[in-house]
């Protein structure tokens, strides 16, 4: 019952159903389409012939995708929801319903799980999504989160990875690489803390890049902005694995090539400075760092006038014929082939 003199509630004292009751008691529903949320064999939502449904699922595993030593539990719940919202948004849709599968070892208390749920709830309330169900079970070790999000879109406005045409402009929202630099700082301070548990982590001045790692936002605002400006992207994807990998996904699905200008890649100055401190080329972080959850999309040239003054969007290159390949034009005007580092490649890479 006690841990650090606090009154924490052991999960084993609750049972599965008592636990679910406790965790879900504050969940409210925001969408009229939700007929029945948590509490039956399945959630029930209204069908709507004027919409298409978007279904996505992402897993977050302790030790693989997050480290509880520096990831606050509430942020973890928020991020787990966000990476799924981002997938729906990358199809030009609106996330509407969420299911969560949570596996926890007995070391977690009810209060710890409530913090994760607070994060889910915050994400759902902020993005107008209904938390409608899921599954909670024990695990032999660690925390596993599986989130499924159902979204909807106007069938005429669903945007796929496929659809980019030669001469389309390649655009990206926000800035890239910050989430990865945030991770490197957290890892550095963790190492220092392990070496000397009396040290105080030095995280000051890094608010932006830490927030990008710990509390990313899905860019619902960008698809709203594009809609307001009457721009329908020809293709779109969210940046979870780094710009290079996502650009290659668009090229392969669309059967085209691309040219990306290194100098155009948007990188925040704090990301830039920190990359230099870690002796990494900043554009490499943007190309391969991942977890930015920005949108990479293509638009027809005729839409350039509409987008050129939008501060949150940068044109970083253009689409070419497939035969020209997937290319990066470097700051010193060299043309190199884009390379996707695959999953977790950055984690394996030597950093100096």
The residues that touch a copy of itself, with contacts defined as CB under 8 A, are 15-17, 35-36, 39-59, 61-65, 87-88, 90-91, 93, 97, 99-101, 103, 132-135, 137-142, 144, 146, 148, 150-153, 155, 158, 160-162, 237-238, 253, 342-344
**Min separation Cβ 2 and a copy of itself, Å:** 24
**Min separation Cβ 292 and a copy of itself, Å:** 14
Q: How far apart are CA 244 and CA 286, in angstroms?
A: 8
CB closer to a copy of itself, 64 vs 351: 64
**Min separation Cβ 171 and a copy of itself, Å:** 16
The answer to whether 165 and 254 have CB atoms below 8 angstroms apart is yes
**Min separation Cβ 176 and a copy of itself, Å:** 18
CB closer to a copy of itself, 47 vs 197: 47
CB closer to a copy of itself, 56 vs 288: 56
**Min separation Cβ 203 and a copy of itself, Å:** 26
- b/e map of 303-318 (b: 16 or more CB within 10 Å)? beeebeebebbbbbbb
CB closer to a copy of itself, 66 vs 272: 66
Give the Å distances, CA to CA, from 132 to 74, 147, 205.
19, 11, 39
- b/e map of 144-158 (b: 16 or more CB within 10 Å)? bbbbbbbbbbeeeeb
Give the Å distances, CA to CA, from 104 to 9, 110, 143, 145.
14, 11, 5, 9
Both structure tokens of 307: 């987008």
CB closer to a copy of itself, 180 vs 293: 293
């Amino acid at each position: 019952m006690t841990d650090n003199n606090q009154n924490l509630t052991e999960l084993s004292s609750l049972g599965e159903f008592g636990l679910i009751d406790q965790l879900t008691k504050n969940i409210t529903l925001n969408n009229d389409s939700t007929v029945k949320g948590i509490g039956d064999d399945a959630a029930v939502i209204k069908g709507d012939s004027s919409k298409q449904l978007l279904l996505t699922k992402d897993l977050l595993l302790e030790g693989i995708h997050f480290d509880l030593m520096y990831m606050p539990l509430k942020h973890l719940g928020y991020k787990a929801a966000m990476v799924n919202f981002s997938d729906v948004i990358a199809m030009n849709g609106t996330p509407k319903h969420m299911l969560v599968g949570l596996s926890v070892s007995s070391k977690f208390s009810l209060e710890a799980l409530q913090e994760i749920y607070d994060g889910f709830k915050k994400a759902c309330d902020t993005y107008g999504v209904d938390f409608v169900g899921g599954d909670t079970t024990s695990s032999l070790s660690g925390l596993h989160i599986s989130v499924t999000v159902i979204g909807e879109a106007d069938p005429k406005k669903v945007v796929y990875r496929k659809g980019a045409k030669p001469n389309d402009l390649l655009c990206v929202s926000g800035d890239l690489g910050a989430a990865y630099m945030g991770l490197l700082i957290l890892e550095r301070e963790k190492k220092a803390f392990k070496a000397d548990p009396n040290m105080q982590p030095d995280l000051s001045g890094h608010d932006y890049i830490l927030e990008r790692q710990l509390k990313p936002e899905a860019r619902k605002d960008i698809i709203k902005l594009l809609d307001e400006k009457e721009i329908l992207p020809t293709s779109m994807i969210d940046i979870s694995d780094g710009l290079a990998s996502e650009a290659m996904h668009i090229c392969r699905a669309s059967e085209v090539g691309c040219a990306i200008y290194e100098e155009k890649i948007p990188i925040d100055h704090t990301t830039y400075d920190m990359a230099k401190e870690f002796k990494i080329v900043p554009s490499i972080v943007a190309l391969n760092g991942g977890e930015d959850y920005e949108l990479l999309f293509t638009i027809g040239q005729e839409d350039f006038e509409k987008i050129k003054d939008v501060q949150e969007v940068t044109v970083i290159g253009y689409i070419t014929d497939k035969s020209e390949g997937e290319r990066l034009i470097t700051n010193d005007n060299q043309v190199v082939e884009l390379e996707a580092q695959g999953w977790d490649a950055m984690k394996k890479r030597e950093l100096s």
